[in-house]
Amino acid sequence: MTSHGDVTDEYNRRAGTDPQLRGCVRDLDMTESAAYYADAGIARPMFAPLREIRNLTDDIRATIAVMDDLPNRCFGGSLESYLSAQGYDDELLSAMLAGIVGSGTPAGPWNSAADIGHGRADVFRGPDGCRVLELNMGSALGGRLTTTLNSALLRSPVFRGFAEEFGLSWIDPVRVLVDDLLAVGRTTIGTDAPVVAIVDESGTDDSCVRLMPELRARGVNALHGEFGELDVVGGKGRLRGEPVDIVLRFFFVRHIPHEPGGMDTLRALTEAHRAGRTALFTPFDPEIHGGKAALGLLFEPEVRARLAAAEIARVDRIIPWTRLVGPGFPTVEPAARAELLEECRARRTDLVLKPANLYASQGVVFGDEVGDAEWRALLATPPRPDYVVQERVRPRAEAVIDPKTAEPEDWTVLWQVFFGPAGYGGSSVRGRPRSQPGAVGGNDVTRTGCAFVH
């Protein structure tokens, strides 16, 4: 079997002397839709063994299944208590509950009525295996369209020859999304040709509009619009007055309180889904496990006491130590928090602080990039009450040959691993040069890229 090192080292060895190979990403035909990502992208694809990524995906899905049982195991069947334990305030809690199609009362039991296994894991690959930094659950996932680079590269003769020699392959996350939409159309709405509305929050930058032609190219009748253009009439969802069969959701729970009439529209969409008139893909059911605090719960002693030994071993294998450290988590007793804070003060250089409910690396603080005094102050009075602390994962360096200078440079690369009911659903990557410290994502230094498996 060809190893990751073999493929990467051989690619870089050849790229060092072959300007066509090392420039194959930057030199894509500008008529390619992928050129949007290539211009400022990572200068080469990333490579990983397919078995490694599939095994990781199996572990992720098994862990999510455990998480979906936590409301019943640890919170008396109350979904509201489970979300409150993650630090949801009253406003977000109400919005989340309004967008859930599963069943459950404050007294329980919880039973999701939707497949909760749709998502994307943000992963670092290290010498000891893959570690999941975050789980992004549901349909509102970035990174799918970056994989247009894969198909574009395979139309480049110089890269296609390398790919064929080393047996490189990829899974198209957009094709997987199409298959999921068609399955939802059949099972929820009873149609093989659903009209799909891609819906962003109101006032968006229309970043999701680029998905519309990709869905249409794969045979889906797709529209694009904003949440404020949605309504429900006679139990049927409509976008700008046109009936739709599926609302492909790219708005988040945090957007709902800021949308005029947002709660009423969301409740109507949820009822339309339950009635089989217009499917919400996905409803908020998967997202109950999507915040960083959901990972933190897996390390809380009271939760761990309800997990089987095999479940704990799996969690520890793929998820770095993560704890609820901010004051906004009602299930963490003051004495336990004080003990945790003392441990975190002592382990500053090995830890990262992250807000549970922000995104794009907002508010992330690396312990080894601040001094003891600042670290202690952040722990004592964090800027937000929903901070978690996570053991820092230091991934393997990925050498990238500069297309202009032919010199190698080490990068930190984050894998974005998509998954769904069928398992592994493709990957894209993001990265930044190691010479520029900081988080991957949400900044001008981070670049996008594509990945192949072998």
pLDDT tens digits, one per residue of 286-310: 999 998 999 999 999 999 999 999 9
> Per the structure, how many domains does the chain have?
3
Mean pLDDT over each residue of the chain, to the nearest integer: 92
Q: Is the pLDDT of residue 183 over 50?
A: yes
Domain that holds residue 257: 174-285
Does the pLDDT of residue 1 top 50, yes or no?
Answer: no
| pLDDT on residue 90 | 93
Residues 124 and 45 in one domain: yes
**425 located within any domain:** yes
Task: With respect to residue 421, please indicate whether it lies within any of the assigned structural domains.
Answer: yes
**Both 143 and 215 in a single domain?**
no
Domain match, 237 and 371 both: no
pLDDT of residue 37: 79
The CA distance from 89 to 41, in Å, is 38
Residues 237 and 277 in one domain: yes
Same domain, 399 and 382: no
Provide the pLDDT for residue 161.
96
Q: Is residue 316 part of a domain?
A: no
Q: Is residue 74 part of a domain?
A: no
pLDDT recorded at residue 441 = 84
**pTM for the predicted model, two decimal places:** 0.94
User: Is residue 62 included in any domain, yes or no?
Assistant: no
Same domain, 210 and 260: yes
> Same structural domain for residues 184 and 165?
no
- pLDDT given for residue 38 in this prediction: 78
- Do 401 and 385 share a structural domain? no
Q: What percent of the chain has pLDDT over 70?
A: 95
Both structure tokens of 92: 């977000």
Give residue-wise pLDDT tens across range 339-377.
999 999 999 999 999 999 888 788 999 999 999 999 999
Rounded (10°) CA dihedral 135, 136, 141, 144: 0
Residues 16 and 146 in one domain: yes
Q: Is the pLDDT of residue 33 over 80?
A: no
CA distance 221 to 199: 14
Residues 30 and 166 in one domain: yes
Q: 296 lies in a domain?
A: no
3-class DSSP assignment, residue 62: helix
| Judgement on whether residues 197 and 344 belong to the same structural domain of the protein | no
Same domain, 184 and 258: yes
Q: What per-residue confidence (pLDDT) applies to 27?
A: 87
Pairing of strands 221-226, 230-233: unpaired
142 domain residue, yes or no: yes
Residue 279 in domain: yes
Q: Does position 106 have pLDDT exceeding 70, yes or no?
A: no
Q: How confident is the model at residue 108 (pLDDT cuts 50, 70, 90)?
A: low
